[in-house]
A and B are shown apart, each in its own frame.
Chain A
Amino acid sequence: MSTSVRFVLTYVAVLTTMLTWWLAMKQAATIGSLALVVVAYAVPVAAWWAVVARTRDGQTVHDER
Chain B
Amino acid sequence: MNVEWSAVLGIGLISFVVTLMLFPFAGRAKYQQYRPATFVGGVLFMPLFISIAVTLQAGWSLTETALILPVLFVGFWGSAAWLIRTPTQGSFVRGLEVGSRLNFRPDLILPGGVMLVKGIILIGVGMLISFQDALRLPQWNWWGFVLAFFGIITIIPIRGVAKMLARRSRFLGNSPPWQGTIRWTLLVVGLAVLLYGFLSAFMGVVPFAADGLRPRAELAWLAVALVGGGAASLAVREIWKRSLLEGAETPLQRFSSNLWMLVSVWAYMYGFVVLFMGRIMSPQLGSNPGGVLLGGSLFGFGVVLILITRPIALRRELVGTINIMVGMLAALEKEARWQMMVGRIRTIASYPTNQCTWHVGAMFSALGSLPTIDRERVEATRDEVMMSLSSQERQALMVAMDQLQAA
Q: Which residues of A contact B (CB under 8 A)?
A: 3, 6-7, 10-11, 14-15, 18-19, 21-22, 25-26, 29, 31, 33-34, 37, 41, 44-45, 48, 52-53, 55, 57-58
Which of A22, A33, A44, A55 has the most B CB atoms < 10 Å from its CB? A22
Task: Please give the number of chain B residues whose Cβ is less than 8 angstroms from any Cβ of chain A in the complex.
Answer: 35
CA gap between A41 and B76 in the complex, in Å: 13
Distance (whole angstroms) from the CB of B7 to the closest CB of chain A: 7
Q: Are A37 and B51 in contact (CB under 8 A)?
A: yes
Q: Are A15 and B12 in contact (CB under 8 A)?
A: yes
Q: A57-B87, A58-B33 are in contact. Are A18 and B68 (CB under 8 A)?
A: no
Chain A residues, Cβ within 8 Å of B23:
6-7, 10
CA gap between A26 and B3 in the complex, in Å: 12
Distance (whole angstroms) from the CB of A62 to the closest CB of chain B: 15
Q: Are A18 and B19 in contact (CB under 8 A)?
A: no
- Closest Cβ neighbor of A17 among chain B residues: B15
B361 in the interface (beta carbon within 8 A): no
Select B15's contact among A15, A33, A37, A53, beta carbons within 8 Å: A15
CA gap between A31 and B33 in the complex, in Å: 40
Distance (whole angstroms) from the CB of B254 to the closest CB of chain A: 25
Q: Are A19 and B11 in contact (CB under 8 A)?
A: yes
- Closest Cβ neighbor of A29 among chain B residues: B58
Mostly, the B contact residues are helix
Chain A residues, Cβ within 8 Å of B44:
41, 44-45, 48
Q: A18-B47, A29-B58 are in contact. Are A34 and B12 (CB under 8 A)?
A: no
In the complex, per-residue mask of B1-29: 1 if CB is within 8 Å of any chain A CB, else 0: 00000011001101110110001010000
**Given A21-B47, A25-B51, 19 new contacts (CB under 8 A):** A10-B23, A11-B16, A14-B15, A14-B18, A14-B19, A15-B12, A18-B18, A22-B11, A26-B54, A26-B58, A33-B54, A34-B68, A44-B44, A48-B40, A48-B41, A53-B37, A57-B33, A58-B32, A58-B33
B64 in the interface (beta carbon within 8 A): yes
CA gap between A26 and B407 in the complex, in Å: 60
CA gap between A22 and B58 in the complex, in Å: 12
Mostly, the A contact residues are helix
- When A and B form their complex, which 5 residue pairs have the shortest distance between CB atoms, in order from nearest? A58-B32, A52-B37, A58-B33, A15-B15, A11-B19
Q: Are A18 and B37 in contact (CB under 8 A)?
A: no
B89 in the interface (beta carbon within 8 A): yes
B197 in the interface (beta carbon within 8 A): no
Chain A residues, Cβ within 8 Å of B15:
11, 14-15, 18
CA gap between A52 and B90 in the complex, in Å: 18
Q: Are A55 and B64 in contact (CB under 8 A)?
A: no
- Closest Cβ neighbor of A48 among chain B residues: B41
CA gap between A21 and B48 in the complex, in Å: 11
Q: Are A48 and B51 in contact (CB under 8 A)?
A: no
Interface residues of B in 58-82 (CB under 8 A from A): 58, 60, 64, 68, 72
Q: Are A31 and B68 in contact (CB under 8 A)?
A: yes
B50 in the interface (beta carbon within 8 A): yes
